[in-house]
Every structure is written in structure tokens, then in C-alpha cells.
Structure 1
Amino acid sequence: MVDGRYQLCDICKTVAVFTPDEEVTCIDGTSKALFLGTSRGRILDVNLSTKNVTRVLQLSTNVPVSRILAATALDYLIVLSASTIFNIEIGTLKPISSSTTSNIANLALNKDPVVSDPFALQLALVTTNRFILVCESKTNNLEIQQEIQTEDNVVALSYNKYCICYALPNAYFVHNVLENKTLSLFPYDSQAIRPLIVNTDTEEFLVNGMQGLGVFATSEGVSSRPPLFWGLTSIISFAYRSPHIFVLTASSIAVYSSDQSVVLQRLPFTNGTLLECIDGQLYVCNNENITHLKEISWLERAEALLSSGKFDEALRLAENAVANSQYDEAEILKINMLRQKVALVLFKRKEFEKFHELAVMSQLDPREAINSRLSSKILLFLMEFRSEQTEKAAGSSEGSFDDSFAGGSIQLTTFLENYLRTIRKFNWTAGFRRDIDAILLRLIALRQDVLDAEDMSLDLQCTFEDCDRWMRDHMRRKFLITVAFCLLDYDNALLISWELYNENLWDDSIGELCLRVFPRFDSEQTILGWVEFLVKVDQDKVIEGLKRCSVKLNHSKIVRILQQKRSILIRYLEEIKYLQNIEFHSLLFSMYVEEINILLGEGEKSEILCRKNLRTFLLQPNKLNLLDIYTVLKSYRHFDVELTLLEGVKEKGSVECLEKLLTEYKDYDAAELSCIYTDTPEHVLKLTLLKFYLRNVESQRQFKSRIINLLNTTDFISNGAEVLQQIPEDWSLSSILPFAEGAVLTVKGRSYCQQLKKNAAAQSLKALSGVLKPAHVCIHINEKTLCTGCGAPISSEDAARYPYSNEIFHRRCLKS
């Protein structure tokens, strides 16, 4: 089991390559190699992938290596040994150059340099004569930019951006390079603690203080950030990697939170000498080993919590880690893997609500959940189909539908159905929606015989073949028909329908469904096949389906199929009368005659209906020859009324034919049909019929309803007032309200029109009088009257008036 956040992993056993009494004095490196400085003046190159020492460099000084800094951007090491700086090429471990000075006691590399040249280095060099030299190194040239004089020898320092933090034997200081200003932090007792400094953030440092405190400092002095308390145990070294502080003592390595004074983990480690953070990784040394202090990934820790049943803790750990990574895509993938593992465990435990939430959140392939519980008989039962993704899971198991175990698994199957219905809508299920839909259909089939109307609208991604075998094996062929309809596989639906019919398993409810999907049929061949089948199973509503077809049909083919069912054929021929096809009209007429002859002795109601249809057909426009029809009907004794109607067709508005129907045959329905189809625009026949009803209504009370219906027809026009006077006084006016309202409106309309005419005439006369009045003005002419044009006197014989004015002119003057 994983315990804690970090673990120790051996990198290299130094005891095997060191000489007697040789120790590690300093360490640095890259992501691929570590470089160890030893007390014998050697530099060892340790390959991190092979964990072997690959190269060794013996410096000529043959004295301890004090400091190694890896300048990876320039591909060389900066090595301090015997107060001299060496530049050593990383790739070959060969010296490139060395400094001319030999008074360097310590050095630090600016971890956050502010330089215009990306290949320039900023260094802080500590000299033996109590100076800190702020330098910039370019192409092996060292340029001193600032000198900082100290009161004593510098024993530790760290450099970041514009700030240098350093320790003298008795106190800590910070120096602001920009302002060239030094601040004292606090004193310490070098006999009690070792002076240690580590850079934690931009211009922020952590120093080893008195009384077991780690104190934060900035260029402004001691930071307001609370110090860390790590106890009075002597500290050998410490390092920082956000968000943790790592403290090396003689017996252990303690991991602290940088924000809280709490130990997160303590790892036993004895005789440690150095602890460094190199390229984001932590390495610790003792006299025998170089050890990697490896962080245990949050995923490993979470999985350990998961294995111990601590699901909530595992998920919280994962969510915090992903949040800290600012939701890096790779980390999101990891947390989803963890969520999926938790979800699968919850599914096995039947904690379905929690499973649903995590499964959707982590985009879990539902087939994994089902596969994880294949020991369940119901799931084996559901998975009996072959698709690329489920072949292994299903194996070679076979099953049959058993209500006993299906019923016992209602909770599971109900949940699965709802779950699959939910997730099939998400885009991330597109790759396996085919299998989802295939299983979903099986789950639905467990609880109902057919797909309902809502499910028929599902955009299923599975194929008919995915469902065919399973549905047949488990006696779900009726359900399979609806699946075929849903998948627009009408031919297979028809095939199964014939199977059920031939096995006496047909259900009329399926026929109803077939009729509902008729508008979806996209080929004439499919429609013809279904028409033949539905006629076979006595589905009289097939005509309704045909009426809603969007495909252009060959009606002759339909007629041939329908000939096996007379009643359906007659209905179909009635529906296509509008085509005015002589063949269809002839067939319909002959079938009416045959049907009436058959029904004469069987039932009055059916015969009456058939006669009404025949009469309507005869009265409507058709392609038949009247003489031929007349001849056929004349050959029978019971078509006298129909023959009379034909006479009315030949002569529109024949009152004689109407009166014959009323008085001789007393067939009032036929008389009303005659009025509907053969009346004149003046409604001669309807008025005749109305008068007949009104004359005889006292003796024939059944005429009342006929009168009311006749008066309430929308196109009936008559002198309403006159008719109303003939209505018996005991009739309720409400029964003929539409007619009465129309009559009143008609009278009002006529009166209004007359008033309008009267008003218009009056206005016209008034306007005309106004126009004519100026033209007949009376003007008196005497000896003093003068011509307006020439000013000479004018006589009445020679006078003329200018139109619409009182001015008088000579006729000659007016012409000029």
C-alpha cells in the first residue's frame, strides 16, 4: 500500500565508486544526469536512466569540490574548487576554461535572471577578502557589475532576480541589487544551528533560524509570512519544491507544507549529508547512496485509498490535485480513470445513483460496467450479441428469457435502461452508441411487447442485425417488428409479420402500428407488400394508410391486390374517384351493383349504405356512359330510384324527377341527394323539396328534421321572410337559427341598400344643383352696360357671358 506523498528510490551506490574516505560535497545536474562533486576533487557523471556512473573528471587541484552549478542553457557546469571557477562541458565532462582569480569562496547562480541576452548568466561570487561580486558572464567573459563589502566571511547565499540573501557567521542579510542596499535580518548562533538559505519564490528566501524556526525573508526584510516550526533537531540541509519544504536531519527527511507548520510525512534516512532540488526533482546523499526522493503521484495515492475502500477521500485527493494543476488535460484524463474505477465498484455494489453521477462525469463506457458484472445472469442475458467491442465479454454463453430472474433483477434493468437513455444523448458516446442502443432495446423488450410511440422516435444507431438474433432467440419477434420500423427496415418488418401470421401469433395491435408508419414508406414495392399483408390479416384501415402515403402509386397494382377483399377494394375505388379513370369507375359501379344484389336479403342497413354510395357516385361527375349505366340498372327490378336519379342527371333541375322520387317512391334521401347534385343555381329543386316538406309536415312529423337540415345548409338561398311565415308556430326558432339569422340579415341588407340608394340620389341631386346654379345666373342689361373687353356699350342681342362669371362681352370680343 502507498503511504504518504514521497518515497525513497536508490539511484546509485557511491560506496562502490568512491575511494576510502571520499564523500559527496556538492551536487547538481539536469533531467538526464547528476553531477557529484567529491572531497577528492572528482566530478562524477551519473546517468539517471541507467543509474550508473558513466564518466569521472579528476580536477588538477585534487582538493574538495565546493560547488557545482549546471548552466544547462549553455551546456556547461560551473564548478568551484580550490577557490577557482572551472567551466566544464556537460556533454564531454571536459574543462573548457577556468578563472584567473583564485580567491572565490562560494558562488550562487541567479535563478530568475534579468538579462537581455538569453545566454548570459548572473552570478554572485563570494571572495575570500569579504566581498560579494555581482557579475554577468557572457561568452566566458566575467563582468563585475556591483561589489558588496561584508563585515565577515559569507558562509551561505542565494540569488534571485534583484535580491541576494546571505549569511555571515552570526547573522542573515538581504541585499537589494537595484538599490545597492543591504538590510540585516536577524542574528543566529552558529554553534547552535547551521546557516542555510533556499530560494522559495521571486525575491523570497527561507532561512534556518533560531529556536527551530524557518523564517521567510524578502528584499524588504523579514517577511510577514508566518515562519515554519520544525523543532529543535539539528538540521543538515533543506530544499524547496512548491508547495513543500524538505528538511534533512541526521535520522530522517521531513516534508512540510510551505503554508502550514505541519509535517506531512517523515521518511527515515540516516547519515544524510546533502539535500537538493535539481530540475524539479529531489535528491538526497549520504556516504553510501545517491537517493531520489520521488513524489508519489496523486493517482497512485488515490488508487491506494481506493483499494482500502476510502472512495470519498480518493476522489477529494484527485480533485484537489487536478485543481492545483489548473485542470491540465492529462490530469483530467487521470482523474476520469480514477472516477471510472470508483464507478465500477459502486456499480458492483448496486449503489446505482452514485455510479450514475460518476459514470457520466468520467465518460465511462457503459459496456465496461456491464462487463464488470457479467457474473449476473441478467447481464449475461443482455450481452448475448456480437459486436466488435463486446465479443470478448459475451463469450460463447447462451441464454433464454426467464421471467423469474428478469423479475428479480428489475432494479438493475430499470436503472440500466434509464442510464443508457441518458448517456446515449452525449457526444462522447458516439463511438459506442451502436452497442448502447442494442442493449437498450433488449432492456425495453424485457418490460413491454412493442416500442411505444416515444421510443419509436429514437434515432437508433444499432442495426437490425444487432437485434435480430437475440429477439428471435428470446421470443421477442413482435418487439423486433417495431425495432425494424424504428430502423426504417420495412422489408424485415414485413418478413417477421408474415412469420407471426403463419404461426397464428399475429396481433392486431401490430397492424395498427404498421398503419401509423405508412407515411414513412419510401418505395412503391414496400407499400405493395404491406398492402397485400394487411389485406390478408383483415386490416380494413389499410385505406387510411394508403391515403397518407407520400410515394406516387400505381393504382392498378393496388386494385389488383385489393380484389381479394371486396369491401376494402370498394373503399379504395371510392377514394380514387377523383382520378376520373374509366376503368376504375366501371369497376366501382359494377361492384356497387353486385354488392347491392348480395345484400338484398342480408341486411337493410348495409344495403342502404351501399345504395347511397352508388347514388352519390351516379350523381357525381364520372367517366361512365349514362346509356350503359341505364342499361345495366334497367336489367334489375330493384334500381327504379337509381334510374330516376339518372334521368335527373340528364336534365339538370328536373322538378318532374324530384316529384317522382317524393310521391311515387317516397325516397326522401334520394330526393335530397338529387337536390345536392342536380339543382339549378336558383335552387329550384331545393325550394320544391322544401315546399313539399312544409305542406306535409303536419302529417309526416319526420319531415321536421329534414326541413331544419335543409334550411340550415350554408348555400341555401330563398326569400327568408316568406319561408319563416310557413314554419309552424310551435317550432323553436333556435332549431333554424342560422336560417332565421340569415333571413333577418337579408331583410336588413335590402333595407339598408334601399336607404343607401335614396341617400346617394339625394346627394347627387344636391351636387348637380350646385354645379348648374352658376350657369343660370340672371344678368340685367341696359344702356349703361359696357363690354368688359373693349369698354363699348353693349346690347342684349350682342351680349355674351364668360362661363362661371358675371363678366359681359361682345360676342366678337369673346371670340378674339
Structure 2
Amino acid sequence: MEETCIFRSALLFEKVPTGRSKDKSTFECMEWFCNNLYIGLKDGVVLYLNVGRWSGGEQPERVREVGRRQMGRGGAVIQLKVLPVLNHLLVFWDSSITVLNMFSLEPIPGLKKIQNISVFGASHLASAFSQPVFVSLITASSRRRALSVHHIYVDRWETVGHVALPQDPVALGVCESCVCVATSDRYILHDHVIQNTLHLFTHNHGKRNIIVKESGKREFLLNGPGNLGMFVTKDGVSEHPPVQWPEGVLDAAVHFPYVLALQSQMVFIYSILDQKLKQSVSVHNAKALLSSTEGVFVVCEREIHCLTQSPLEDQVEGLLANERLDEALTLLDGVQTRLPPDSYENMHRNIICTSGWIHFYREAFPEAEELFIKSGLDPREIISLYPEMTVLSSDFKSQRPLVSNAKDLWTLSKEDWTTFQQYLSFLCHFLREIRGTTQGQVCPQDIDTALFQLYLRQEDQKNLELLVSCPNDCILQVCVSELEHHKRFFTIGQLYQSHGQHLKAIQTWVDIVEGVCVDLQPGVFQHIVNTLCQLKQKFIIMKFIDWVLQRDQKVGVSIFTKRVPNDQSMFAPEEVLTFLANFPAALSLYLEYLVHELHSKEEKHHTLLATTYISQILQPGQSTLDREVDAGIREKLQQLLWQSSIYSTDAVQMTIQSSALHVGKAILLGRAGHHREALAILVNQEKDQQAAENYCRRTSAGQGQEFTQQLFLCLLQVYLGSSQRAAEAVDLLNNNVHTFNPLRVLPVLPGSWSLQLLRRFLCESLRETVHEKRMRNLEMNLAKVENLRHKHAWMEATQQKVRLDRSCVCECCRRQLSGPGFLRRKSGELIHTHCYFAENH
């Protein structure tokens, strides 16, 4: 894998030999604070340099020597530590700690040496809650196995405690009040404030290559067993997996999110996030590392180098350019808190999007779609890849990343059509998924137009109609042109309709029905009618209603009768009736709608419906089919005349008078009370015995037996008025015995009729009469029995004497008992007689 350049190395300072003799004094350690560089030399010299204006990166233009301090005749300066809050510089040499002023390098009066020291460490933080201010210093004596805790003030220091150790300390680090100590075989944590000790783990390094470095807030970096760089917090837990680094590591430092391991000739840089080696930097005779905000300083024998980390954004972009997406995402998520929110979001989106493109060209379409949606990819980036799918937005500028496995879909469509079809299917599905979402609102016209073109070219009729019949953002000029090329005129109308251009839509469909445009779509005429039923633009309806009614009156009238209830007020009934005057079939249907569905109480509507029926029936030159329709209209007319009580009898009578509609005439005469005339018409002119009997039954319904007998007797007399209708008269008597009173029938019968002719009628009449008489007798006797039962109950209740006073009340109505009108129940309770009978009835 190609190595990424994360840290750039710059020479910060180089010691130039002086004189002819070889300078044997080399660098041993260094300290850095705000462009102030302190170097400890092998010959006991502390060198103080100022780097000037420099923030890392390139080699500084100027490094000026500010001061120099010779600590003694011999002995190397092993460690330097700056305490900025006190302006102190701690110098560890010759097994002792000397305190100098960090600017003048002069000793501080009152701060004597701390001698017999093997290792030391100081807290980075001063105590902010105490006056005067002090810094905690931890030292380990070379004479005894113990740690000493000191408080360093501006002009003095004092020892505040000791901590015993099981072995000699080799190295230590300090983080606030916690000290991490390394002995020859183990690591130990100790908090000198709460006096808590925790043994971590053992190691196998002896007294060499032991590393204890502060790696950040509340955390230490240790060289664990098996050459593992281990992170341990002050609570004794590890929040990061260990890093496997090479043998012989001299020093290590953390510069988040990386850990640097130093060998004599090489610096190895590992990621804390995924524990992988990211970079290696060659050095010469290196000795120590020091991490600071400017970078990581590398102390060599005669040189000081600074490894400066490139911006995190550049690192992510570099990994992204090399398609190391997993590493880029791991790095980005690990440093999220160190980046501005907008920068993080943009980089995260770019990583996800690039990963989506790689999956896209691998034909892993479900994964690609998920990543494109997650990254919020501009849909035009994908649309622009496809042949004949142009992006219509003028403000679009492609920002598609370059990936190594990219394909040319134009070439693919010519060489491998099967695979290209899969890419087309992906585009359809992807555009459908984001349509209507926030991601799709970036370019709704491009999305809908692209979907339209895909459906049209793939002949996906179902999805095409679903798209154009619902609200959409298709560009009309482009889509109409393509539909005309494919002879899809019905779809053109749907597209116009979805864009609110109803006049153009209906005119396009009318041209199809008239044959001006050829389209095989079925049911276009009905679709026009359905559209007009739903339209709210009255002027458009009026423009096409005449054309619709001329083609089909029965279908056309639904434009008025099947409108949404809230739209009924658009057309007043009188306006519609005036318009439909020239269309009788549509007129009758609309009147039926007014009368039967809207339950109109207007006399005009009922009368006009009746006269319209009559006019339709009386039309000359009817075919067989028309005669079947005529029978239905006659039935409707009769039902209307029977059921409606609102129409004008005189107006209908005037219309029907000269016609042969005898049943209608009879119904009208019956409405006027002329039943004999009505029956005469049905018998003599209509010559329909069944119609005459039905007239009697329907007219007498709910009128009582007397009226029914009188009406049937009237019909019998009409039959008897003609000698040729004797058979009908006999049938009427025999079939309707219960509707005749024999006492009234016998006087009107001709004397020439024989008893044999009337035998059936007389027998059944007599049987009916006897039956009725017996039933009346039975009912009377049952009533008598009931009366006797109540008398018996009353007698039983009154056999005992009862003394009445004002306290005696009826148990039912609670009124006072007085007089003989009471009785006693079997339970002994007294009750008024009328209350007793009321309970039992």
C-alpha cells in the first residue's frame, strides 16, 4: 500500500562544529515552550535558543541563541522541564535537579538542588485553588525504593509526602495527581492525593526501552510486553487498542491521532484509530521525541528536527484520492471533535459518495444506491452519465470524483446492452427513491424528465401513466416533443392535465376521438367525460359539453349528475334544463336525477319529467330496439304518475290526452277521483284485465275494506256493461273473492247467469263469510272467559272482611282506600280494583 505523507520533517536547529578539533558534545534532551527551545548537551551545558516567528512546517528562517548555562564540569543534562506558571526551568543532571530562571538561566535563590535523583516528573497543571501557586514535582531517589512528592513555589519548595515502591523506579510520568511508575518488571499507577495504588501489568524490558509518556489528558503511553504500545488512563483502563511497534524502540510520543515510535535511525508513525503503520521517517542517531502543539520534535546527536502533521482535512482528502475509503472514514470519525462541523459533514459526505461511485461501477447497485442517498448526491451527477439523458439545469457543474474503476456508459450501451440495461434499471429505482425527498428537491425537473424518458424508451406504460397523471415537474417542451415522436397523444393530454393545462389536454383527447390524431388508447371519450365531471373551470366544460352530448346524450349528462357534491352549485338546475332542451334523452336523465336523487319539490321538474317521457314515447318511426326502450319509458312514466304527488295533473293531462297512453290517462283520472272512467279506459281501450285489477289494488291500498269492495264492484260493473266480457267478469269474481261483498254483487249480476257459472264464487264467498262469523264468535267467547277470570279473582279477594281507616292505602298507587272499589291480593295486600286490572292487562 502506498505510504501517505502525514508528517513533514523540517530541520529546526543544527549544531555547527567550532574549531579544528572534533566537537564531542552532543544533544541529549530538549524542552519547548512558545518558540523557546532549550537543549541539554552531553557536556552539561543548557543551551537556550529563540526560534522567532515559526509555527512548524518549513525550516525557520532564523534561530537565535539567547543564553547558555554550564551546569558543571561534567555530566550530561538528562532531562529538562519548563514550568511556565513559575518561570522555572528544571534541569536534571548529575543525579540532581537544579532550578533555573527560564529566561535568564540564572539559579533561583532559595531553591537548592534536590540530590540523589534517578528520575522525576512534574505536573503540567499548577494548583489554581491555592495561594501561593505551586506545581507538584515527583522524584525517585536512587538510594531507596520510594517516590517523593514536592510542591515547587516561586522561591521555595517543600516535600509533602513519600510513596514506597516494591522495586527501584526506572521511569515515571505525571498526569495531574496521578503518577505512572515503571520498575524493572512492571508498571504501577499511584494517586498521591487519594493515596490509591493500582498495579497494571508486567513487562520484559528489564531497565532498557522502558517508556512512560503522557499521551494526553488522563492517559499514559507505555511500552508493554511483546513490544505493544499500550494506552492506560489514570483509572487503569485502556480506551484505545494497543499498537504493535518494532523492537528496540527508544522513545515514543503521541500527536493525536498518531503515536510515533523512535528507533535510532527511523521514526515509525502509527494510527491510534486503526493501529496501522501509516508512515516512516528516516533520521540519524536519534535519541528522544517531544510532542508539542507545533509538532513532534526529534532530538538527534547534533540536530533537532520537527515533524509537523499536515492538516487533517488534507489527510482525509489524500486517502480519498487514493481510494483508501475505510481508512479515510476511520480517520475522519476519530478526529470529528477536532474539526468544524461543516468541514466534517462535507468530508464525510465526500467519502460516502466516493464509496458509492466505486460500488456503482462494480455493479453493486443496492449498496451504491444506499451510499448515494446517505451522502445526498446531486442526482444530476448520475443522470449526466447516461447517453441521451441530458441535464437541463443551466446552473449544474459536475463535481463527480475520479475513481479507478469508472466506465463509459455511452460505450457500454453499444457494446454490452444487457449490462447497460442493469444500469438503466438502477437509475429508475434511484430516481424513484429520492423523488419527493429533500435530496430530490435539488433538481425536481431533471429527475421527473429523466424518469419520463426512461419509462418512454423502455415502454413501461404503467409507470409512465402513473408519472404523467399525477403532479410532476416534467419539462413540457421536452416531453411533449418526445411523445409526439412516439405517437402517444393520449399521454400528451395526461401531461397537459397534470400541469393544469386542462383546455389543451381535453382538446388533444378530442382530436383522438375525431380521428385527427391516431392513438390506440381505448376509452378516450369516457375519459373526457370523467375529466369534465371533475373540472372546476366552468368555461372549459361549456366549451366541450355540446360536443359530448352530440356524441352520446346518456354519457354526456353525467357531467352534470356525477359532479362532486360541493361542485353542484356550479350549474343551477334551470340553467342545465335550458341547455338540455335540444337533447331529450339527456333532459329526461337529468330530470330523473333532480326528482329521484336530489328529491326536488319543484312542480316544474316533476311535470317536465312526465311530459318528456310522453314526448319520447310518442316519437314516430321506432325500430325494434326503440320499442324495447319505449316499454321502459312507459314503465317509468307510470311509476312517476303513481308515486309523485307534485306534478301538475292538468298539464300532463293536456299532453297525454290525444295519445294512446291509456294507462297514464287512467292514472290521471284516478288522481282526480274518476275511478269508473279510469277503469273503463283500461278495460275498453287498453283492453288489459290485469292492468285494471292492478289499478284497483294500487288505488285502494291503505283505504279500508269498504273502499276496496266498492272499487272492485265498479270494475265488475264495467265488465258487465258489455255482453262480450262475461268471461272476464266471472274470472274477476273467482280470482278476487275476498274483495267482493256477495250481498252487493248478486243484485248487479245478469239474471241470465246460471248458478253453475257462479258456483265457485258463491262457495268461496260463503266459506269466507262463515269463517269470519266463527272467528268473531271465537273472539267474543275468549273475551267472556277473560272477563269471568277477572270476576273470579275479584270475588276471591273480597270474601274476607276488611276494616278500613285512614291508614289503609293502595299498595300500587299509594292512595287511600275508601268504598267498595278494592280487593285483597293473595299476599294479603289491599289494592284498588282498577289498579289490579291495569296490572293484569
Query: Is 1:367 matched up with 2:380?
Result: yes
Counterpart amino acid of residue 424 in structure 1? R
Q: Which residue of 1 aligns with 2:254?
A: 240
Q: Which residue of 2 aligns with 1:646?
A: 668
- Which residue, 98, 101, 104 being the options, matches 2:111? 101
Counterpart amino acid of residue 574 in structure 1? E
SS at structure 2 position matched to 1:47: coil
Residue correspondence of structure 1 range 31-430 to structure 2 within 5 A: 35-38=36-39, 40-45=47-52, 47-48=54-55, 53=60, 60-63=67-70, 79-81=89-91, 84-85=98-99, 100-101=110-111, 103=113, 108-110=121-123, 122-124=135-137, 126=139, 134-136=149-151, 144-146=159-161, 156-165=171-180, 177=192, 178-179=194-195, 193=208, 196-199=211-214, 205-206=220-221, 230-233=245-248, 235-240=249-254, 245-255=259-269, 266-279=280-293, 282-284=296-298, 286=300, 287=303, 289-294=305-310, 299-300=316-317, 302-304=319-321, 306=323, 314-315=325-326, 318=329, 322=333, 334-348=347-361, 350-371=363-384, 373-374=385-386, 376-377=387-388, 379-380=389-390, 383=391, 385=392, 411-424=422-435, 426=437, 429=440
Q: Distance in 1 between matches of 2:601 and 2:821?
A: 75
Query: Is 1:567 matched up with 2:585?
Result: yes
Q: Deviation digits for residues 388-411 of structure 1, max 9, x if unmatched?
A: 669999xxxxxxxxxxx9999754
Q: Which residue of 2 aligns with 1:660?
A: 681
**In 2 relative to 1, CA 202–407 (structure 1 residues): closer, same or farther, beyond 3 Å?**
closer
Query: Is 1:494 matched up with 2:511?
Result: no
**In 2 relative to 1, CA 230–773 (structure 1 residues): closer, same or farther, beyond 3 Å?**
closer
Structure 2: tracts of 5 or more residues without a match: 41-46, 72-76, 401-415, 720-727, 740-773, 806-818, 825-841
Q: Which residue of 2 aligns with 1:810?
A: none
Residue correspondence of structure 1 range 719-738 to structure 2 within 5 A: none
Q: Which residue of 2 aligns with 1:698?
A: none
SS at structure 2 position matched to 1:419: helix
Shift of 1:267: 3.9
| Contact 2:111/2:155 (8 A) holds in 1 | no
SS at structure 1 position matched to 2:160: strand
SS at structure 1 position matched to 2:111: coil
SS at structure 1 position matched to 2:702: coil
SS at structure 2 position matched to 1:354: helix
| Contact 1:163/1:176 (8 A) holds in 2 | yes
| Contact 2:580/2:587 (8 A) holds in 1 | yes
SS at structure 1 position matched to 2:260: strand
Q: Distance in 2 between matches of 1:142 and 1:426?
A: 68
**In 2 relative to 1, CA 219–537 (structure 1 residues): closer, same or farther, beyond 3 Å?**
closer
Q: Which residue of 1 aligns with 2:8?
A: 9
**In 2 relative to 1, CA 231–650 (structure 1 residues): closer, same or farther, beyond 3 Å?**
same
Q: Distance in 2 between matches of 1:280 and 1:762?
A: 124
Q: Which residue of 2 aligns with 1:728?
A: none
Q: Distance in 2 between matches of 1:758 and 1:69?
A: 133
| Contact 1:211/1:231 (8 A) holds in 2 | no
**In 2 relative to 1, CA 337–167 (structure 1 residues): closer, same or farther, beyond 3 Å?**
closer
Q: Distance in 2 between matches of 1:411 and 1:226?
A: 43
| Contact 1:649/1:678 (8 A) holds in 2 | no
Shift of 1:133: 5.1
Shift of 1:510: 3.6
Residue correspondence of structure 1 range 418-457 to structure 2 within 5 A: 418-424=429-435, 426=437, 429=440, 432-433=443-444, 435-446=446-457, 447=459
Q: Distance in 2 between matches of 1:667 and 1:803?
A: 67
Query: Is 1:474 matched up with 2:483?
Result: yes
Q: Deviation digits for residues 486-514 of structure 1, max 9, x if unmatched?
A: 56664553354456567345755344345
Counterpart amino acid of residue 480 in structure 2? M
Q: Which residue of 2 aligns with 1:558?
A: 576
Query: Is 1:634 matched up with 2:634?
Result: no
TM value normalised by structure 2 = 0.63
| Contact 2:483/2:491 (8 A) holds in 1 | no
Counterpart amino acid of residue 103 in structure 1? K
| Contact 2:274/2:330 (8 A) holds in 1 | no
**In 2 relative to 1, CA 340–510 (structure 1 residues): closer, same or farther, beyond 3 Å?**
farther
TM value normalised by structure 1 = 0.65
Residue correspondence of structure 1 range 511-660 to structure 2 within 5 A: 511-516=525-530, 520-522=534-536, 524-525=538-539, 527-529=541-543, 531-532=545-546, 534-535=548-549, 538=552, 540-549=554-563, 550=565, 551=567, 552=569, 553-562=571-580, 565-577=583-595, 578-581=599-602, 588=609, 591-602=612-623, 603-621=626-644, 625-635=648-658, 637-651=659-673, 654=675, 657-658=678-679, 660=681
RMSD of the TM alignment (CA)?
Answer: 6.1
Shift of 1:646: 2.7
| Contact 1:340/1:364 (8 A) holds in 2 | yes
Q: Deviation digits for residues 638-662 of structure 1, max 9, x if unmatched?
A: 444443343233338x365256335
**In 2 relative to 1, CA 288–239 (structure 1 residues): closer, same or farther, beyond 3 Å?**
closer
Q: Deviation digits for residues 44-78 of structure 1, max 9, x if unmatched?
A: 35532785759977555445997666779x6x875
Q: Which residue of 2 aligns with 1:797?
A: none
Shift of 1:575: 1.6
Shift of 1:571: 1.8
Counterpart amino acid of residue 160 in structure 1? C
Counterpart amino acid of residue 474 in structure 1? L
Q: Distance in 1 between matches of 2:461 and 2:576?
A: 31
| Contact 2:669/2:677 (8 A) holds in 1 | no
| Contact 1:518/1:546 (8 A) holds in 2 | no
Counterpart amino acid of residue 664 in structure 1? Q
SS at structure 2 position matched to 1:651: coil
How many residues get paired? Answer: 694
SS at structure 2 position matched to 1:576: helix
Q: Distance in 2 between matches of 1:58 and 1:449?
A: 84
Question: Share of identical aligned residues, percent?
Answer: 16
**In 2 relative to 1, CA 588–54 (structure 1 residues): closer, same or farther, beyond 3 Å?**
farther
Counterpart amino acid of residue 314 in structure 1? L
| Contact 2:27/2:299 (8 A) holds in 1 | no
Q: Deviation digits for residues 329-386 of structure 1, max 9, x if unmatched?
A: 7756644432322323444565433322333343433332212x14x12x23xx5x55
Counterpart amino acid of residue 600 in structure 2? L
Deviates further, 320-329 or 507-516:
320-329
Shift of 1:548: 3.2
Q: Distance in 1 between matches of 2:279 and 2:429?
A: 45
